[in-house]
Structure 1
Amino acid sequence: MKTGVRRIVKSGDAPPAIGPYSQAVMMNGFAFTSGQIPIDKDSGRIVDGGILEQTEKALDNLSAVLTQSGTSLKNAVIVNIYLKSLSDFGIVNECYARRVDTNNPPARVTVEVSGLPKDALIEISAIAPTLPFAGNKK
């Protein structure tokens, strides 16, 4: 993708945006994702279960958007995680560690928020390079 060209990303493997925003935007060799919540793309509903199931689904959705962008979570330079409760931090870390390169992890922000769309327990976004670079992992 040329630098300076803005491209909207739509992945059929992740739920569509639930508002006036894109799943991701690619520009200048990076994918900037919107926050992904644990929505099942077929039902349009939050997945059943607690923070473990919701974290796995939010990561699945994020990975689908990043894959459509030509990159992966292993290439992320920063990940933002929004939690309804910081008491879920440990469980989220366990799920997250299975998905990122723990030897070369991205920067990360994790904050507790008062509410998330559809009463989700977690929302995750990322910025990842899309152009070939040393160490790029699919």
Structure 2
Amino acid sequence: MAHSYESEYPPGAAVAPGIVQFFRDFYALSDTPGDTPGAHERYVDAFTPDATFILASKTSVGSEEIKATREAMWAKVASRKHTPTKVFPFGQNAEEVMLYGTVAFTFKAGGGAEVDWAGRAQLEKAADGKYRLKFYQVYL
């Protein structure tokens, strides 16, 4: 079966099309290798300038810390592939969601792994009309 960044949403849930597209694009961007020119900067642009990003036990606040975390995420990883299986909005037209999926890794030293993850995200629609993460926490 072909890989997809499409997620399931609860039946009847009203979710802004921009949020649905944001998560499709975000996980594709998350899987863009760190040695791809501009990848780290595009990843950081998916967050508000003052966002909080918590990855397991590592907390990053603001663009510079999020960029450093993103760079560290690729230090030992050759490739990753997220499958964002389900997104659960907190109410109709909510900008806060819980997410569930899997991520497969290939390591630079050889070998790989596939793990389940869950996340909590708070989005904010910016003046340019784009949704960005104000808060994002990933549980591995």
Does the pair score TM above 0.5?
no
Q: Which has the higher contact order (CA 8 A, sep 6+)?
A: 1
Bigger strand fraction:
2
**Structure 2-normalised TM-score?**
0.29
